[in-house]
Amino acid sequence: MTGALPLAAAQPVIPDFGRGSTCVRENGAFCWDWVSDHWGDTLRPALVQHLQLTAIAIVLGFAIAFVLALAAHRRGRLTTPVVLVTGLLYTIPSLALFQLLVPFTGLSRTTAEVALVSYTLLILFRNTLAGLAGVPEEVRDAARGMGLTQRQLLWSVELPLALPAIVAGLRIATVTVISLATVAVFVVNEGLGAPIYAGLQQTFKTELIAAGALCVALALIADGLLVLLQRVLTPWTRVARSR
């Protein structure tokens, strides 16, 4: 008996297929073992892809919306057409928009990004414009009186004062995109939508719940980070509030 054990350890006849915890074998409602076992091969890659999808969409969306908002700030006539077009894009349900882009950009990450960017435009445009429009006229007059050029007025007076509204827009846009990026799984098998969709089609639900929870956590953390960013960038608002 004592001699049998080392022999078995040296020449395993049955290959090791993994640990398969009791919880997983019994199809438990939520198995931490599964999460720790598959963090590296399923959840973390999906989380990283999700972050990439979101970051690209927010950066591109903000660049476009920012330029449009600056243009509309200077020429008020642009506001209505931009709001109409971006509002139209914003209204189209995500699942439909992803599919409607397939004939143009195929089942690719580009399709996902185009749709995600189009959802950020209305939010970011309206908030940036509202922030710029909310700058008191006296402040502008004072700045002009001090001899600031149009460009200096924009960059050193109007934009800093518009920052809270801009960040508020970025918060909504970021949380919205993190949520919508899960739907992108119908056109490209990336992001947290992939494990959610995979989990949906099997009886073992841990994968789905873990990915869903990660998605919510990601949204809340991103939201919190943007609040912090705003506090750091606009110290004067904190002084006003503490009074």
Applying CB under 8 A, the residues found at the interface with another protein are 29, 87-88, 91-97, 99-100, 102-103, 122-123, 126-127, 129-130, 164-165, 168-169, 172, 175-176, 178-180, 182-183, 185-186, 192-193, 196-197, 199-200, 205, 208-209, 211-213, 215-216, 219-220, 223, 241
In whole angstroms, the minimum distance from the beta carbon of 95 to another protein comes to 5
Alpha carbon distances (Å) from 218 to 31, 46, 242:
20, 12, 30
Is the Cβ of residue 38 or residue 144 nearer to another protein in the bound state?
38
d(CA 212, CA 179): 10
Is the Cβ of residue 152 or residue 234 nearer to another protein in the bound state?
234
- What 3-state class would DSSP assign to 90? helix
In whole angstroms, the minimum distance from the beta carbon of 78 to another protein comes to 15
In whole angstroms, the minimum distance from the beta carbon of 7 to another protein comes to 45
d(CA 92, CA 220): 25
Is the Cβ of residue 152 or residue 164 nearer to another protein in the bound state?
164
> The tokens of 43 are what?
């959840």
In whole angstroms, the minimum distance from the beta carbon of 176 to another protein comes to 7
> The tokens of 178 are what?
């993190």
DSSP conformation class of 158: I
- What 3-state class would DSSP assign to 93? coil
In whole angstroms, the minimum distance from the beta carbon of 59 to another protein comes to 20
| Contact present, 124 and 173 (Cβ < 8 Å) | yes
Is the Cβ of residue 134 or residue 155 nearer to another protein in the bound state?
134
In whole angstroms, the minimum distance from the beta carbon of 183 to another protein comes to 5
Is the Cβ of residue 77 or residue 241 nearer to another protein in the bound state?
241
Is the Cβ of residue 108 or residue 152 nearer to another protein in the bound state?
108
Helix (H), strand (E) at residue 10 = helix 4-10
What percent of the chain is helix, strand and coil (3-state, nearest 5)?
Answer: 80, 0, 20
Sign of the Cα pseudo-torsion (173, 233, 147, 133, in order): positive
